[in-house]
Amino acid sequence: MTTTDWPLWEVFVRSRRGLSHTHAGSLHAPDAELALRNARDLYTRRGEGVSIWVVPSSAITASSPDEKDPFFEPTADKPYRHPTFYEIPEGVQHL
């Protein structure tokens, strides 16, 4: 082994105008500029993107799987946030 791994970057690609950037994968690169160039070669060889973001993986804060239940629990008992929760008389339009 000669070197320590370069830092890891997460790659986000906008596939075309009008869509948001989506996580495509990750790669190692010594700095942001090379991360961008490597991301172009690795994730957009067939015109998959019009814009790329690279983010150091270490800069991402993630929710933890074992707190899944309490963390996402507040949403579970609020069906009134969905339009289908409400009963509307038949025949009422544009609602």
Rule CB under 8 A: which residues touch another protein? 1-8, 10, 23-28, 30-31, 34, 41-42, 45-46, 56-58, 60-66
- Minimum gap (Å) between residue 85 Cβ and another protein: 28
CB-CB contact of 40 with 48 (8 Å): no
User: What contacts 27, CB < 8 A, 6 or more positions away?
Assistant: 8, 9, 11, 35, 38, 39, 42
- Minimum gap (Å) between residue 1 Cβ and another protein: 5
Q: Which is nearer to another protein, 1 or 76 (CB)?
A: 1
Q: Which is nearer to another protein, 24 or 52 (CB)?
A: 24
Beta bridge partners of 70: none
Q: Which is nearer to another protein, 16 or 28 (CB)?
A: 28
- Minimum gap (Å) between residue 23 Cβ and another protein: 7
Q: How many helices (H) and strands (E) does the chain have?
A: 2, 3
- Minimum gap (Å) between residue 8 Cβ and another protein: 5
Phi and psi at 50, nearest 5°, equal -115, -5
